[in-house]
Structure 1
Amino acid sequence: MNPYEFGPIAAVLDAAYGVVMSLSSLLTPVAGTASAAVAVVLVTLIVRALLIPVGVSQVKAANARKRIAPQLAALQKKHGKDRETLQRKTLELYQREKVSPTAGCLPMLLQIPVVSTIYGLFIITTVNGHPNALLAEHLFGMPLGKSFASLARTGSLDLPSIVMAVVIVVVIAVVAQLSRKLLAEPLPGTPGGPPAAAPTPGVPDLSGMMKTLSFLPFMTAIVALFVPLAAALYLVVTTVWTFAERSILKHMLPPAPSASTGAVPASA
């Protein structure tokens, strides 16, 4: 069963569809045949603006992890051979610093329904039982419902479409590289990062997931070639927004000093 045909999901998708098409109609006198594409960009910006609190929460979570990283490394060095003591001391550190071991995971999960709704709007042919007219709209002659890969397979990838593909992939890749250089904190076990620590019982080990997520923007550049053009526009806009948002929040929300001034209790 297509999940987008499920009643509540179809209703949400239909509401999103109505917003995009209404914006497209309002923008037609100004944007002409590109009005639907501009509407997609505007909806993306609106959604990302609504998710600013989520971005703030993620930055605070990253700052919290950075703040207690030296203390965690010290605990690993001191109690690495005593798993029970290490677990107890680590949990005490999280409680003392008021940091959750899974901080930052919930905000990422909150974005999934929003992203799924936007993406679904760009890939299904019918919305709540009626045709998805958005997929028939064009940008520089390329349908918003077609992907660069599908056009290449049919031999209908013209010069404007090739230029758009190159621009979208380059923008996403460049922004991804800037994000890794300017925003990403060195991961444990990597050059410039803290030493890799053994997993602590009772505390989720998110290092593998974080390493995978750090490459996600580069994967997004490739994905943009295989999704409908409307979805590719969403990907490039949200990638640039994320970089700009994190750059600003990183300066507005610097890591707070440790509640225990970085010292690890000497008692066992």
Structure 2
Amino acid sequence: MDLSTFPPIAVVLGGLQSLVTTLGVLVEPVAGTSSPALGVVLLTLLVRLVLVPVGVSQVRAEIARRRLAPAIADLTRRVTDPAARSKALMSLYASEKVSPLAGCLPTLAQAPVLTAVYSLFAHSEIAGHANTLLTHTLGGAALGANLFVTLGTGLTAVWPYLVLLVLLAIVVELSRRATLRFTGSPTATTTGRGQEALPGTAGLVRWLPFVSVLFAAFAPLAAGLYLVTSAVWTLGERAVLRRALAR
């Protein structure tokens, strides 16, 4: 069963299609044939603008965790039992009114939108009508095709995907380094004695942010545009909020 034909989902996708189309029409005098792609970028910016309060909460949580870092290190050093340590950490977070999951909020909040954008450019029909967005391209690459599908048709239209993937990887790495500088901690997987609390997880934590790059390689080009735009927004937003809220 195609879930996109389920009435509530079809309505959402139809509305999203109309919004992207409208945004594309608005910028068509400037963007020309790339206007639908720019429409996706504008959609992303609108979503991130709405989610600014979530970003503020995330940065405030980062600041609080940085403030609690000495207490966490001391607790980790004193409590060796993993279960007791976890319970003590949760008690510490609760007493200080800090959520250890606040950093996940922007990703979780965007997940439905990213899923909708992915679905919008993965179906030939939306609400029983032809999906005209699939007829548009960016630099010769179809907005509804992914890197590997395009590779099968030749190398001419591959460059937009490669540019997006490289740009996304660079932005993800810059964000990762900025977070490390701000929090002053390489990972959350080490104990107060400098020993790895969860063996083998340091490498996982190091590369986990790059999952979005892997996803973008398999996702429609439009979804990759969303990811890149959102990642750039995140990098800039956190830089501004950290400077403003850490005073």
Shorter-chain TM band: 0.7 to 0.9
The question of whether the paired residues in 1 share the 8 Å contact of 2:189 and 2:197 is answered with: no
Which secondary structure state, in structure 2, belongs to the residue aligned with residue 183 of structure 1? helix
Q: Distance in 1 between matches of 2:193 and 2:107?
A: 24
C-alpha RMSD of the superposition: 3.0
Q: Does 1:5 align with 2:5?
A: yes
The question of whether the paired residues in 2 share the 8 Å contact of 1:73 and 1:195 is answered with: no
Give, as a single letter, the amino acid of the residue that structure 2 aligns with 1:175: V
Q: Does 1:221 align with 2:213?
A: yes
Gaps of 5+ in 2: none
Matches for 1:101-120 after TM superposition, within 5 Å? 101-120=100-119
Report the CA distance shift for 1:109/1:142 in structure 2 as closer, same or farther (over 3 A).
closer
- Worse-matched range after superposition: 178-187 or 90-99: 90-99
The correspondence for 1:178, drawn from 163, 174, 178, is 174
- 1:61-82 CA-partner distances (Å, limit 9, x unpaired): 2222222222122123334369
Residue in 2 that maps onto 1:266: none
Give, as a single letter, the amino acid of the residue that structure 2 aligns with 1:8: P
Instruction: Report the alpha carbon displacement of residue 101 of structure 1 after superposing the two structures with TM.
Output: 4.2
Query: TM-score, normalising length from structure 2?
Result: 0.83
Q: Distance in 2 between matches of 1:112 and 1:119?
A: 10
Q: How high is the sequence identity, in percent, across the aligned residues?
A: 42
Instruction: Report the alpha carbon displacement of residue 20 of structure 1 after superposing the two structures with TM.
Output: 0.8
Report the CA distance shift for 1:116/1:213 in structure 2 as closer, same or farther (over 3 A).
farther
Residue in 2 that maps onto 1:165: 161
Which secondary structure state, in structure 2, belongs to the residue aligned with residue 80 of structure 1? coil
Q: Does 1:128 align with 2:127?
A: yes
Q: Does 1:233 align with 2:231?
A: no
Q: Distance in 1 between matches of 2:149 and 2:64?
A: 44
Give, as a single letter, the amino acid of the residue that structure 2 aligns with 1:45: L
Q: Distance in 2 between matches of 1:95 and 1:217?
A: 27
Q: Distance in 2 between matches of 1:194 and 1:136?
A: 58
Matches for 1:1-268 after TM superposition, within 5 Å? 1-80=1-80, 89-154=88-153, 156-158=154-156, 161-184=157-180, 185=183, 186-189=186-189, 195=194, 212=204, 215-254=207-246
- 1:19-62 CA-partner distances (Å, limit 9, x unpaired): 11122223323322111111111111111111111111222222
Query: TM-score, normalising length from structure 1?
Result: 0.77
Which secondary structure state, in structure 1, belongs to the residue aligned with residue 217 of structure 2? coil
Report the CA distance shift for 1:194/1:169 in structure 2 as closer, same or farther (over 3 A).
farther
Which secondary structure state, in structure 2, belongs to the residue aligned with residue 146 of structure 1? coil
Instruction: Report the alpha carbon displacement of residue 14 of structure 1 after superposing the two structures with TM.
Output: 1.0
Which secondary structure state, in structure 1, belongs to the residue aligned with residue 218 of structure 2? coil
Instruction: Report the alpha carbon displacement of residue 225 of structure 1 after superposing the two structures with TM.
Output: 2.8
Structure with higher Rg: it is: 1
Report the CA distance shift for 1:35/1:152 in structure 2 as closer, same or farther (over 3 A).
same
Report the CA distance shift for 1:80/1:36 in structure 2 as closer, same or farther (over 3 A).
same
Q: Distance in 2 between matches of 1:27 and 1:236?
A: 19
Report the CA distance shift for 1:5/1:62 in structure 2 as closer, same or farther (over 3 A).
farther
Aligned length: 242
- Worse-matched range after superposition: 128-137 or 96-105: 96-105
The question of whether the paired residues in 2 share the 8 Å contact of 1:135 and 1:143 is answered with: yes
- 1:201-229 CA-partner distances (Å, limit 9, x unpaired): xxxxxx96x97565344233333232222
Report the CA distance shift for 1:254/1:133 in structure 2 as closer, same or farther (over 3 A).
same
Instruction: Report the alpha carbon displacement of residue 173 of structure 1 after superposing the two structures with TM.
Output: 1.5
Gaps of 5+ in 1: 200-206, 256-268
